[in-house]
Amino acid sequence: MSKNLVAIVRYEEPLESVRQAVELSRGLDHLPSKARVFIKPNIVFWTKAVPFPKWGVITTSRVVEDVIILLKERGIDDITIGEGMVTMNPKDLATPAHAYETLGYGKLKKKYGIKYMNIFERPFKKVDFGDGVELRFNADALDSDFVVDLPVMKAHNQTVVSLGIKNLKGLIDIPSRKKCHNMTPGKDLHFWVSKLADKMPPMLTLQDGIYTNERGPGPDGKMHRSNLLVASADVLSADLVGAKILGYTPEQVPHIRHATENHGRPWDLSDIEVVGESIEAVARHHAYNFEYSETEEVILPTPLVKQGLKGVFYQKYDLSMCTYCSAVNGLMISAIRFAWKGKPWDDVEILTGKSMRPTPGKKKTILLGKCIYQAHKDNPDIQEAIPIKGCPPKPADMLKALHQAGIEADPGLFDNFEALPGFYMGRYKDKPEYDEGFFKVK
């Protein structure tokens, strides 16, 4: 039986490095002539407020353009780039448009005649995976003849890694994304993510590891200039190899473990042939987990414990926290951290997601988001409930809730929420290896 090819290539120069990865993996050998091709980059988040720290968060425009050139060389004229990025207002069309223009997709349209779209402005189709398992996917991707999946190589604080399969979550509609974060036994986030590639058209997966992200998926992770490309015509094979490069076996990545079991694949990569560089030569462990300290006296992110915070208990995020609450969770933690003045707060607990339970005896309980509010609005274990009901929560409501709990957070953090990524960007300032040129089109 022939093995699935996966190419590992060190990124060294424009076009030729991507060409080498694609050719070694034979990733376009099954591309139909005159195909309609859909390119799915990873644009997890964007802000117009500051020059966004794209490294390790967003697929480089360099790799996107190189893939378009290779497709054009094969006579492909019908090429569409599509993504469904996270915005705090689901009706916000200006932010995705700004992202596409800033990343140079307008220039790619002029140079190569490609199209690009925000999938939330396009129709969705129901996909039935059997046994009542359904999600709604962007119709343009489903109706294409071929998909090029361009994830960033990331560790991920919920799914351990985010690679080719996880990247396809950006093609489903908002209700489907929320469904992925339910806590039905046996049907958690890992279960749903493992299904995402099962009904897709033929694909090339090319993992963009020019920049990789530790404790991703967002800008608060730690970025590395890794100069790696991983390519395969089989998305699961690419992800098995990509996970190993990031330091994880299939057993340690639940959605990849589910996918191998679903498809009767071995976990030991014995049905994969790695060409180019070896896994061992390029592997580098990327931590995925944000450390927490959980005792009877304290439940907080470890850095806040080291800072000495007392009187506040912030339960650790779980799989039921969806992307939209995840986007504001870091703001909430940062606001509490900066509000600390050395005086303990009055026994305040913060709950998120859908499945957390309040700790009996706490004096004040902040319920961050519609889901946790609905779950506990009448819970008798809560002495004083402070709800933040929005979906997603509004920064102004978050500030009001903290103040009601006696935590005098800085209003400026909430007024300028979209500028927060600039705080993280400062870590890479004046480091030449973090080059904005990878996200521009000439």
- 363 with 227, same domain? no
- 277 with 341, same domain? no
> How is 56-90 classified by DSSP, letter by letter?
TTB--HHHHHHHHHHHHHTT--EEEEEE--B-SST
| Within a domain: 257 | yes
- 152 with 35, same domain? yes
- 82 with 147, same domain? yes
- 134 with 240, same domain? yes
Looking at per-residue pLDDT, the higher value among 428 and 183 belongs to 428
Q: How far apart are CA 234 and CA 240, in angstroms?
A: 10
- 185 with 270, same domain? yes
| Furthest C-alpha separation in the chain | 68
Q: What is the pLDDT of residues 92-116, one digit of tens each?
A: 999 999 999 999 999 999 999 999 9
- 3-class state of residue 355 by DSSP: coil
pTM recorded for the entire structure: 0.94
Instruction: Specify whether the CB–CB gap between 70 and 26 falls below 8 A.
Output: no
- 123 with 55, same domain? yes
In CATH, what number is assigned to the domain containing residue 152? 3.40.50.11440
Instruction: Specify whether the CB–CB gap between 276 and 6 falls below 8 A.
Output: no
Residue 160 has pLDDT above 90, yes or no: yes
Distances in Å between the alpha carbon of 21 and those of 16, 45, 210?
9, 27, 13
| Within a domain: 155 | yes
- 262 with 371, same domain? no
| Within a domain: 119 | yes
Find residue 206's DSSP bridge partners. Answer: 231
Q: How far apart are CA 29 and CA 246, in angstroms?
A: 27
Residue 185 has pLDDT above 90, yes or no: no
Structure confidence at residue 53 as a pLDDT band (50, 70, 90): low
- 169 with 274, same domain? yes
| Within a domain: 440 | no
Q: What is the pLDDT of residues 250-306, one digit of tens each?
A: 899 999 999 999 999 998 999 999 999 999 999 999 999 888 888 878 899 999 999
Q: What is the pLDDT of residues 302-314, one digit of tens each?
A: 999 999 999 999 9
Q: Domain of residue 184: give its range.
A: 4-288
**To which residue do tokens 């950006």 refer?**
170
| Within a domain: 420 | no
Domain boundary among 288, 303, 325: 288
Q: How far apart are CA 98 and CA 6, in angstroms?
A: 34
Question: Measured on CA atoms in the order 243, 22, 109, 76, is the torsion positive or negative?
Answer: negative
Domain boundary among 248, 269, 288: 288
Share of the chain above pLDDT 90, in %: 79
| Within a domain: 430 | no
Residue of 371, 374, 355, 345 whose CA lies nearest to 315: 355
Residues 6 or more apart in contact with residue 347 via CB below 8 angstroms = 311, 313, 361, 362, 363, 364
Domain boundary among 231, 257, 288: 288
- 359 with 269, same domain? no
Looking at per-residue pLDDT, the higher value among 51 and 237 belongs to 237
Structure confidence at residue 417 as a pLDDT band (50, 70, 90): confident
Instruction: Specify whether the CB–CB gap between 186 and 129 falls below 8 A.
Output: no
pLDDT at 420: 81
Residues 6 or more apart in contact with residue 110 via CB below 8 angstroms = none
- Beta-sheet pairing, 203-216 with 292-294: unpaired
Residue 121 has pLDDT above 90, yes or no: yes
| Within a domain: 438 | no
CB atoms < 10 A from the CB of 386, how many? 20
- 163 with 214, same domain? yes
206-215, 249-258, 365-374, 411-420: the lowest-pLDDT one = 411-420
Q: How far apart are CA 327 and CA 392, in angstroms?
A: 9
Mean pLDDT computed over every residue of the chain: 93
Residue 208 has pLDDT above 90, yes or no: yes
Residue 131 has pLDDT above 80, yes or no: no
**Number of domains the chain is built from:** 2
Residue 238 has pLDDT above 90, yes or no: yes
| Within a domain: 148 | yes
Instruction: Specify whether the CB–CB gap between 307 and 33 falls below 8 A.
Output: no
- 3-class state of residue 405 by DSSP: coil
pLDDT at 429: 85
Please compute the mean of the pLDDT values over residues 373-384 and round it to a whole number.
94
Highest mean pLDDT among 69-73, 334-338, 369-373, 408-412: 69-73
- 150 with 42, same domain? yes
pLDDT at 1: 63
